[in-house]
Structure 1
Amino acid sequence: MKNAFYGGALALQFLTRLPVPIACPWTPKTRRWAIRAYPLVGLLLGGLLALLALLLQNAPTPIAALALLSLWVGLSGGLHLDGVMDLADALGSNQPLARRWEIMKDPQIGSFGILALLFLLAWKGALLWALLQYGAPLWWLVVLPSLGRWGGAMLLVFTPCAQQTGLAWAWKQSLGLRDVLLALVPLLLLALFWPGIMAMCLATGLFVVASRWALMTLFQGINGDMVGATIEGGELWLMGLMLSWWWYAMALPPGM
């Protein structure tokens, strides 16, 4: 239980800006438990977002959407946005593989990274606005960050790292299929109350499979930035699917 506690605290420290003043040991067991806790951390973030949405239910929809987006970025400290920008700069350079990896490691952000950040936040804000406007049930907001982080864990476990160095490599050495399945348990329990979660789990799996294929084709492996970019991309993908589903449900005649 001690390793599980430290793993949960480690996941909170790594994935959020919430104050967790605990010195966590960095061991294979705590890393495994941290990955298993990724979706739980996502549920905490999603619960805070849903609570804010409830508090702002009488506010103008654009203001509520912007407040939710601001809290979303603030809680995570923009951790995964850095990966989106680095990946965009590397892909936008249209350079050979070795040069793309050099660009990924460059701490400077280029024009492609800035554009990717702007469009990602703009699309997230617009989708939040639309989902709130159409009155979509808030359970999607609770589970969305959890599914995104579960997708990141899947990518890390099932995709080889491009280099045997770095944080992603250190995490990966401790992980296996069992950890991915255990991480999914909280979401499966919630699916007993919200069956739509099962479809979102399948959609997350499809997104990770597509991301893995693309990253292996373009980079022959992954690093931590790509895991972060996959989390952000997975959240955006699920928001788009949720809007499409709810839009379709609203368009059906009553009684169908």
Structure 2
Amino acid sequence: MKSLWQEWLGAIAFYTCLPISPSWPIQLAGAAKWCPWVGIVLGGMLWGVQWLLDFLQIPSPVASVVLVALWLALTGGLHLDGAMDTADGLAVRDQQRRLEVMADSRVGAFGVMAAIVILLLKVTSLSSLAKGSVLVWVLVVGRLAQVWAIARYPYLKPQGTGQIHKTSGVFPRDFWPSGLLVLLLNFLLPLPLGQLLFGLLLILLIPAWFQWQLGGHTGDTYGAVVEWTEALMLAAFTVGSAS
């Protein structure tokens, strides 16, 4: 039980900017399996902020920008940075240089374009959605896709921020927190079957696409998996609400 608590604190410390007391023991090894639960914490916070903005009658487009900005602040831009680096790497035709480009701290044009598309998808989708509960599902599904990417595909670098999650994972045993969370969420905040199936499809296809392009995953692609899954899942909710 103590180890699970340390893993949970490690997940909070690694995946968010939420304050953690220096006296609290954290453990990054094994923490990745808890990242969908981090998603429910962040999603719940964003839901609460959305309720407040609605109560204050903030116009929907402005409220959506505020929510996405807070979304970025809560994660420290960790996942978006990975999506930008991944886009820059995939823009290079020479596959041997892709990882080198992704490791470069400088942002290229393709990284900027990827960030713009992701942020626009999130802002415009949120501005047309009424239920803040969808935020909880979106943040959970995005992180479920990351857990699947870690479990399913090889890690491409001998060192890196994501390596500890790959080497410390014990799969399929590590999926039990995610499975429990999906059952709990589907009981408390049930989704239409089509949207749920679309989310599950994204969990499978987006990590597979990056695997096909690169031959494996890195910490950057883990972030890209989260961002693109979140953005496309939000778009799916928009389609569902309009139908």
| The two structures share one fold, judged by TM-score above 0.5 | yes
Instruction: Answer with 1 or 2: which has the greater Rg.
Output: 1
Indicate the residue corresponding to 1:171 in structure 2.
165
Q: Does residue 134 of structure 2 align to residue 147 of structure 1?
A: no
CA distance in 2, matches of 1:4, 1:144: 24
Q: CA deviation at 1:197?
A: 7.1
Say if 2:145 and 2:207, in contact at 8 Å, map to a contact too: no
Indicate the residue corresponding to 1:35 in structure 2.
32
Structure 1, 65-74 or 175-184: larger mean CA deviation: 175-184
CA distance in 1, matches of 2:204, 2:37: 22
The superposition leaves residues 166-218 of structure 1 with CA deviations (integer Å, 9 ceiling, x where unpaired) of 23222112211121232231221121132217655533332132223322221
Q: Which residues of structure 1 form unaligned runs of 5+?
A: 249-256
Is the alpha carbon distance of 1:13 and 1:25 closer, same or farther for their aligned partners in structure 2, counting shifts above 3 Å?
closer
Q: Which residues of structure 2 form unaligned runs of 5+?
A: none
Q: CA deviation at 1:69?
A: 0.9
Q: CA deviation at 1:68?
A: 0.7
CA distance in 2, matches of 1:24, 1:228: 25
Q: CA deviation at 1:98?
A: 0.7
SS of 1:109 mapped into structure 2: coil
Aligned mate of 2:181, from 155, 179, 186? 186
Indicate the residue corresponding to 2:81 in structure 1.
82
The superposition leaves residues 78-127 of structure 1 with CA deviations (integer Å, 9 ceiling, x where unpaired) of 0011111111111223x211111111111111111112112211221111
CA distance in 2, matches of 1:200, 1:20: 35
Say if 1:143 and 1:187, in contact at 8 Å, map to a contact too: no
Structure 1, 210-219 or 122-131: larger mean CA deviation: 210-219
Indicate the residue corresponding to 1:92 in structure 2.
91
TM-score (structure 1 length as normaliser): 0.87
Say if 2:44 and 2:136, in contact at 8 Å, map to a contact too: yes
Aligned mate of 1:54, from 51, 54, 71? 51
Aligned pairs for 1:241-256 within 5 A: 241-248=236-243
In angstroms, what is the RMSD of aligned CA positions?
A: 1.8
Q: Does residue 53 of structure 2 align to residue 14 of structure 1?
A: no
Which amino acid in structure 1 is aligned with residue 209 of structure 2?
A
Is the alpha carbon distance of 1:90 and 1:70 closer, same or farther for their aligned partners in structure 2, counting shifts above 3 Å?
same
The superposition leaves residues 18-70 of structure 1 with CA deviations (integer Å, 9 ceiling, x where unpaired) of 111245354xxx632x2232111111111111111111112111111111111
Say if 2:9 and 2:26, in contact at 8 Å, map to a contact too: no
Indicate the residue corresponding to 1:253 in structure 2.
none
How many residues are aligned here? 239
CA distance in 1, matches of 2:199, 2:16: 21
SS of 1:245 mapped into structure 2: helix
Indicate the residue corresponding to 1:254 in structure 2.
none
CA distance in 2, matches of 1:5, 1:141: 25
Say if 2:146 and 2:207, in contact at 8 Å, map to a contact too: no
Which amino acid in structure 2 is aligned with residue 142 of structure 1?
V
Which amino acid in structure 2 is aligned with residue 35 of structure 1?
A
Q: Does residue 229 of structure 2 align to residue 234 of structure 1?
A: yes
SS of 1:31 mapped into structure 2: coil
Which amino acid in structure 1 is aligned with residue 104 of structure 2?
D
